Amino acid sequence: MPDLDPVLQPVYEQVLRRNPAEAEFHQAVLEVLDSLGPVVRQHPEYVDARVIERICEPERQIIFRVPWLDDTGRVRINRAFRVEFSSVLGPYKGGLRFHPSVLLGTVKFLGFEQIFKNALTGLPIGGGKGGSDFDPKGRSDAEVMRFCQSLMTELYRHVGEYTDVPAGDIGVGQRELGYLFGQYKRITNRYESGVLTGKGLGWGGSQVRREATGYGTVIFVEEMLRTRDRGLDGAKVVVSGSGNVAIYAIEKVHQLGGTVVACSDSGGVVVDEEGVDVEILKQVKEVRRGRLTDYVQERGGVARHHSDISIWEVPCDVALPCATQNEMDEQGAQALVKGGCAAVAEGSNMPCTPAAVRVLTGAGVLFGPGKAANAGGVATSALEMQQNASRDSWTFEYTEERLAEIMRGIHERCAATAEEYGAPGNYVVGANASAFRQVADAMLAQGVV
Ligand code: GLU
């Protein structure tokens, strides 16, 4: 465990006591507190107003039962959560995750990260997150619809365009958002487009939202590389995962002249030295909801599937973890360093363990933390809210340029703050200190609420 500033240590201990057995939440809090020593020494007013304790305690936590009928008529029960963490900068904003591993602590870690990520976008959105232990894998469309309708039958009373605006995350894409939106509209009798983001293009969605997290991560890594007079052109890249974030990260790397030589899913790793064929990948994953073994078959002998290696063992110049939390441990990071990796940017939320981050930064690898590197998704959600509020819809080109501008802005802001605190090139310090200060100043201004 890192040595925390004496002012921050008791705050962390209180988080541990109040939230037992929520290891991922503890990890996310510790990662932020570890960057804040110099900030609280410079700003004793944050300590006096107990800003940090307040940030660590969600404003509201909602847990509810979601009953639904499967296709055989059997009753199923899931649990759902919405953790409304901070509304100091705007309505609570963050995705919903459907995955069997989802517990309250998972949603809290994601919601906590979201506060700072959303602040970094510079757009007026607070932090929240939700989800359920429902597993959409293998479920029919009708089952997914019944589940989503049941979930919204409770959730509708807590959300709204000025209150709390959910979106997708793992296991929640346009299909699920469509069912959720339909039920919200039916219950409330309001066509309130801004209540959810990530909607379909024909019913209030934004261009580039689908691509935004992956594209944004790649724009961020390109900016990091530029500080060392490098770029993605000609670079060998590995991207873990093969879901929404990974697919569009791969697409953008290829647009910028790099080659993605490996990706993965829970069944293993695909190595495709000629470059992952993103159109085939989209067909397999987005249209057919299939596995990477299907991708290998469609590639006709070019790609190879391995169920016994870690993706981080594939030598590369740049690595983009885009699957899930704690997917890269110390060993994974060591393998990357050995393979000559120069930059890592987190496309998923908290994919690198603290030990992995230490190995990477210790070896001089550029490291872009998720709350900065993957903020393009939620930033484009905020652009979707803007379009909904003005009953407008922007072109792909215009929206993509806005996204690129936001990502370059986040990079600039993190780099400048890192310098200011005597840690040049340390994007973890830059992201945490900069986002925290913005949130803390707004909290001071708004009083003890
Ligand atoms: N789930 C995404 C994230 O982790 C996006 C959230 C949103 O668009 O509200 O940032």
Model confidence pLDDT, tens digit, residues 15-53: 999 999 999 999 999 999 999 999 999 999 999 999 999
Residue 169 CA, closest ligand 1 atom number = 1
CA dihedral (294, 296, 300, 303) in degrees, to 10, reads 170
The neighbour count for residue 6, using CB atoms within 10 Å, is 9
> How close is the Cα of 377 to the center of ligand 1, in Å?
6
Task: Render the burial of 329-356: b for 16+ CB within 10 Å, e for the rest.
Answer: bbebbbbbbebebbbbbbbbbbbbbbeb
Cβ-contact 182, 123 below 8 angstroms: no
- Cα 387 to its chain centre, rounded Å, is 22
What's the rounded mean pLDDT across residues 228-257? 98
pLDDT score of 365: 98
Q: Ligand 1: distance of its center to the CA of 119 in Å?
A: 13
pTM: 0.98
pLDDT tens readout for residues 283-335 = 999 999 999 999 999 999 899 999 999 999 999 999 999 999 999 999 999 99
Task: State the number of CA atoms in the 13 A half-sphere of 310 facing the CB.
Answer: 15
State residue 61's pLDDT score: 98
**Mutation probe of ligand 1 site: the residue of 112, 118, 169, 388 with most atoms within 8 A of C-beta:** 169
Mean pLDDT of 122-139: 97
Cα(73) to ligand 1 centroid in Å equals 33
DSSP 7: T
pLDDT reading at 393 higher than 90 = yes
Mean model confidence pLDDT for the chain: 98
Q: Is the pLDDT of residue 232 over 90?
A: yes
For residue 198, the ligand 1 atom closest to its alpha carbon is 8
Question: How many percent of the chain have pLDDT more than 70?
Answer: 100
Query: Which pLDDT belongs to residue 400?
Result: 98
Element holding 61 (H helix, E strand): strand 60-69
What do you get for the CA distance between the two ends of the chain, in Å? Answer: 32
| pLDDT category of residue 420 using cuts at 50, 70 and 90 | very high
From the CB of residue 413, how many other CB atoms can be counted at a distance below 10 Å? 18
Q: Which domains does the chain have, with CATH numbers?
A: 60-192 (3.40.50.10860), 210-364 (3.40.50.720)
Nearest-5° angle of CA 164, CA 321, CA 83? 20
Distance in angstroms (rounded) separating the CA atoms of residues 270 and 272: 6
Query: If you take atom 9 of ligand 1, which residue's CA is the nearest one?
Result: 94
129 is catalytic: yes
pLDDT mean over 204-211? 98
- Kindly report the three-state secondary structure assignment for every residue of 381-398: HHHHHHHHHCCCCCCHHH
- Please identify which residue in the block is written with the tokens 């360093």: 337
Residues 82, 128: Cα–Cα separation, whole Å: 7
Span 180-202, pLDDT tens digits: 999 999 999 999 999 999 999 99
- The arrangement of strands across the sheet holding 164-167 comes to 60-69, 75-86, 127-132, 92-98, 164-167
SS3 299: coil
Best mutation site among 176, 381, 385, 407 for ligand 1 pocket (most ligand atoms within 8 Å of CB): 381
- Which atom of ligand 1 lies closest to the CA of 118? 10
What mean pLDDT do residues 377-396 have?
Answer: 98
Cα-to-centroid distance, 144 and ligand 1 (Å): 20
Q: Which of 93, 108, 117, 129 is catalytic?
A: 129
The pair phi, psi for residue 265, each rounded to 5°, is -140, -170
Question: Average of pLDDT values for 388-395?
Answer: 98
CB atoms near residue 392 (< 10 Å) = 8
Q: Is the CB of 214 under 6 A from ligand 1?
A: no
Distance between CA 296 and CA 299 in Å, rounded? 5
In 197-266, which residue ranges form alpha helices assigned H by DSSP? 209-226, 244-255
Ligand 1 pocket, residue 167 CB under 6 Å: yes
Does the pLDDT at position 2 exceed 90? no
| pLDDT of amino acid 394 | 98
